Amino acid sequence: MNDMKKTGIELFGLICIILELVLLFFLFSFFVSPVSGGIGNPNTTVITHLTVGEVYPEILNVSVNYDAETITLSPNTTVSVYCIGLIRDYNGESNLSTLTGRFFHSSSTYDSGEDNNTHYRNNSCNISFVTEDWGVPDDEYHALGNCTFEVQYYATPGVWNCTLWVNDSTNFNDSNSDGINVSELLALHVPDTINYGVVNATDMSGENITNVTNVGNVMFNLSFLGYAVSQGDGLAMNCTLGGIKNISIEHEKFNLTESNPGVLTLDGTDGIYENLTTATLVRQFNLDRRTNDDLNDVLNSTYWRIYVPTGVAGSCQGNIIFGAVQSGES
């Protein structure tokens, strides 16, 4: 009896397993099985074709002043800065239409307005189809762009950026840039002569006003020293006639802050003017660089007098060396 009961249980378990398998089959038959495998055989190859129409021009690189590291400005004038870009256009170099350039200080931006201190523009740069000197094939796909900028002597020193922008006949465009440093320029301009006119013996000359102009791009103070024939001779002027023929250096005097017109005696200049010396004198002047593109207003006046002692006659001549010393230095 126990054997029959055991056999019935086993048969019932087998039937349950079969039913589960049938249910699983029907359940998963509703899902699409992924297809895998290689290329069918037989097979054939279909060749595809495409013709590329307009492509973007490319400015491959930009060089400022032929890869120079620094631009050295020139006092009271401009220097030419050349930004040259190597351009490639696979639609042909003749497809290039416009090249423009911007040269600007790090304190400015590409879109800033023109300013001789910080920003220069050239909207009609030159495109040349000859590239053989730039290490690329002189073919129909390469060109050289050149944007030239006339940079003023008072341009702000520091890091500058030259950005070139090229456009083609379908208004596709590209840009690229290069950086360079503009050096500090410490320079001044003074007249060639200071003429005191005719001065009688034992008289103090009238006041001479001599303007000093900043023709560089940094603020400066002034230095002075005087001599008659050779530096260190202790003289302000040497004269053609007279018993001593020399005017001592302390008789030539200056003031850097204010004018004192009118007649003065030698004693009357004390505390108003400072004596020139044969040693270098550095005095605060704080003459800033030019910032006005329309008006050069960066000049200050200096005021001079000389006393004529007895013992000199004829015509006299001397020398004053004016020097620019950057503010903060001595």
> CB of 189 within 8 A of CB of 211?
no
Residues 64 and 120 grouped into a single domain: yes
Both tokens assigned to 140: 């129909």
| Banded model confidence at residue 27, pLDDT cuts 50, 70, 90 | very low
Q: Do residues 78 and 167 share a domain?
A: yes
Amino acid found at 259: S
- Is 219 part of any domain? yes
Q: What is the pLDDT of residue 4?
A: 43
Position 184 scores a pLDDT of 98
Percent of the chain with pLDDT over 70: 88
Query: Is residue 11 in some structural domain?
Result: no
pLDDT at 276: 98
Whether 106 is in a domain gets the answer yes
Residue in this structure with the two tokens 């500058």, named with its chain if needed: 160
Q: Domain check: are 151 and 207 in the same one?
A: no
pLDDT score, position 14: 55
Residue 2: predicted pLDDT: 43
Q: Are residues 206 and 300 in the same domain?
A: yes
Instruction: Tell me: do 164 and 257 sit in the same domain.
Output: no
Comparing 19 with 84, the larger pLDDT belongs to 84
Structural domain ending residue among the three candidates 115, 147, 182: 182
Q: How far apart are the first and last CA of the chain?
A: 125
Torsion region of 287: left, alpha or beta (phi above 0 gives left; psi -120 to 50 gives alpha):
beta
Tell me what pLDDT residue 133 has. 80
Task: Note whether residue 31 is domain-resident.
Answer: no
| Full residue range of the structural domain in which residue 103 is found | 58-182
pLDDT per residue over 34-91, tens digit each? 555 688 899 999 999 999 999 999 999 999 999 999 999 999 999 999 999 999 999 9
The reported pLDDT for the residue numbered 132 is 80
pLDDT at 330: 46
- Counting the structural domains of the chain, the total is 2
Residue 38: the pLDDT is 84
Q: Which of 127, 151, 182 is the last residue of a domain?
A: 182
Question: What is the structure's pLDDT at 73?
Answer: 98
Give me the pLDDT at residue 297, please.
86
Statement to judge: residues 289 and 315 lie in one domain: yes
Residue 169 shares a structural domain with residue 195: no
- Whether residue 171 is found in the same domain as residue 254: no
What pLDDT is stored for residue 11 in this prediction? 53
Q: What is the pLDDT of residue 46?
A: 96
Q: Is the dihedral of CA 241, 245, 250, 254 positive or negative?
A: positive
In a domain, 134, yes or no: yes
Q: Are residues 167 and 280 in the same domain?
A: no
* Residues 170, 201 share a domain: no
Mean pLDDT of the chain: 91
Could you give the CA distance from residue 235 to residue 248 in angstroms, rounded to a whole number? Answer: 4
Q: Residue 261 has what pLDDT?
A: 95
- What share of the chain in percent tops pLDDT 90? 83
pLDDT, tens only, 165-216: 999 999 999 999 999 999 999 999 999 999 999 999 999 999 999 999 999 9
- What pLDDT is stored for residue 31 in this prediction? 46
**What is the reported pLDDT for 1?**
44
| Residue 195 and residue 322 in one domain | yes
Mark which of 182, 199, 214 sits at the end of a domain: 182
Q: What is the CATH number of the domain that holds 175?
A: 2.60.40.2550
- Is 111 among the domain residues? yes
Instruction: Encode pLDDT of 243-290 as tens digits.
Output: 999 999 999 999 999 999 999 999 999 999 999 999 999 999 999 999
Is residue 76 a contact partner of residue 215, using CB atoms and an 8 Å limit?
yes
